Structure 1
Amino acid sequence: MTEQQIQYIPKKFSSKYNPGTQFASLFLDNCIGLSKEPPHPTKTEIKNNQVLAGIFVFDHWVHNSDRTKSNILLERLTEGKYDIHMIDHGKCFPGGYKWNKATLQEHDKFKKDSIVHIWTVGMLEDPSILSSYIEQILALPEALIEEVIREIPGDWSVPIQDREALVTYLIVQKKTFADSVYQFAKKYGTSVF
């Protein structure tokens, strides 16, 4: 985006934007944040409820310790149900917004148990749903992970050593994150875990 294009971003979005390559998500109309819908919808009220397990597993793989009610969107469907969408992955990886080679080598566990993750595993009745999402991550070829990290735009100024460390981090996490997923599910899930 150019400086001129940035001027068209509404002021209610307080982030400071710099000219250059940006990341943007598709705007989903007719959505509200999970935080705006008390009480939380039940499993039967969510049409795509199996994606909740996918969100939980993905967050554990990439160490997204910032999964909150405000970055889970509920899209109201015509039949009175909801579709779930996850947004905002800005604080993934150890170090959050400021991840780098040093923070990626710390391999910290989550510092807090997210209320969204607790809600998610509380709605799971079948542990095989978690396993299927874990298997999808395990099946990701290392070459594909490397390719995605190589495509980080140059104007984001991510040094090569940080990119290499991120590839290593994701590959190592791929081999070890399943245990933390199952431990969390046993701690907060239903009696089937």
Structure 2
Amino acid sequence: MIEPVRYQKKLEGKSNAHLITFSDGNDYVVKYFQPGFEKSLPNEWVAYCLARFLELPIPYARIVDIPEEFSNNIKELAGLGSVKYQYASLYKPNCFDGHQVLDVSNLTNDQVQLAGIILFDYWLCNTDRTRKNILLHEVTPNIHGLSIIDHAEVFGTYNWDLPDLENLPTTLLKSATHQIMTLFIEEEENFSEQLEIIQTIPVLLMEEIVDLIPEEWAVSKEEKKAMVSALIRRRKKVLPELTQRFIKKIYHPLKSYD
């Protein structure tokens, strides 16, 4: 397992993320387990694993063991290292968020992939797909590659309780980022293709992903079971309807002006 070797800086945002260099020579964005945001790290882990399976553009991530003495010797991390394991995603330099790029005129991402991101957010009830939660890397002038980051608020929030998972919202999301991606999706069939893929993800895989959540992140067996149940229920009963509503209310109107 890689080890932290040098602290860089605290990053902007409410997620308490820090840039740390590890023994593999790479910089990682590390999110620490913290009170009040108890489900942030479990949410990040489950979303990451499912996004990777769906081949969505998400930075490589891993669960890391950061010694308490490392954290305690750094002012910005003091008091955060009482939990052994933290969540770390590979830092992507030379990227900008959606607010920093004024004109997204072209994307290198495949249309199927963009449709997959939108359905992924509806499946996991990601209420925080803002322009700040994408990364844009300029490949050539005015042509960018898009990656997705920050999934602390899937399942509706970063501090959900067991009853919340049974009553997740089933409404359309207000996301300017979804609208930007929609402009580059030419074929409506991309949505049905991605829906079919999501609906055929093995239940055993979802169970294994959830089971890998460290005990230190304080997700009970009942909550882990409820996470899987929510994923199964939403992909079967909720996602098909939301997909059709998204196509009718957002996709068609945007494409008619394209």
Give the shorter-chain TM-score range.
Answer: 0.7 to 0.9
The CA deviation at 1:122 is 3.5
Which position in structure 2 is the counterpart of 1:152? 213
- Aligned pair partner of 2:135 in 73, 98, 119: 73
Alignment deviations for residues 60-86 of structure 1 (CA, whole Å, 9 cap, x no partner): 000001100001100122565211100
**CA–CA distance in structure 1, aligned partners of residues 219 and 166 of structure 2:** 16
Which position in structure 1 is the counterpart of 2:13? none
Quickly say closer, same or farther: Cα 1:155–1:185, change in 2 above 3 A.
Answer: same
- Aligned pair partner of 2:246 in 162, 170, 184: 184
Q: Secondary structure at the residue paired with 1:152?
A: coil
**CA–CA distance in structure 2, aligned partners of residues 138 and 65 of structure 1:** 21
Which position in structure 2 is the counterpart of 1:36? 100
TM-score normalized by structure 1?
Answer: 0.86
Structure 2: stretches of 5+ with no match in the other structure: 1-65
The CA deviation at 1:118 is 2.3
Within-5 A mapping of 1:44-63: 45-50=106-111, 51-63=113-125
| Bigger relative contact order, structure 1 or 2 (CA pairs below 8 A, ≥6 apart) | 1
Name whichever of 72-81 and 180-189 sits farther off.
Answer: 72-81
Q: Give the aligned CA root-mean-square deviation in angstroms.
A: 2.3
Q: Secondary structure at the residue paired with 1:97?
A: coil
Within-5 A mapping of 1:33-182: 33-39=97-103, 41-42=104-105, 45-50=106-111, 51-78=113-140, 81-94=143-156, 96-110=157-171, 112-176=173-237, 177-182=239-244
Q: Secondary structure at the residue paired with 1:169?
A: helix
Residues 171 and 242, structure 2, Cα contact 8 Å, conserved in 1: no
Q: 1 or 2, which has the higher strand percentage?
A: 2
Name whichever of 80-89 and 58-67 sits farther off.
Answer: 80-89
- After superposing on structure 2, the runs of 4+ consecutive aligned residues of structure 1 that deviate more than 4 Å are 7-11
Residues 100 and 165, structure 1, Cα contact 8 Å, conserved in 2: no
How many residue pairs align between the two structures? 185
**CA–CA distance in structure 1, aligned partners of residues 225 and 73 of structure 2:** 36
Quickly say closer, same or farther: Cα 1:182–1:127, change in 2 above 3 A.
Answer: same
Residues 72 and 81, structure 2, Cα contact 8 Å, conserved in 1: no
Alignment deviations for residues 118-147 of structure 1 (CA, whole Å, 9 cap, x no partner): 222243221111112111111101111111
Residues 6 and 19, structure 1, Cα contact 8 Å, conserved in 2: no
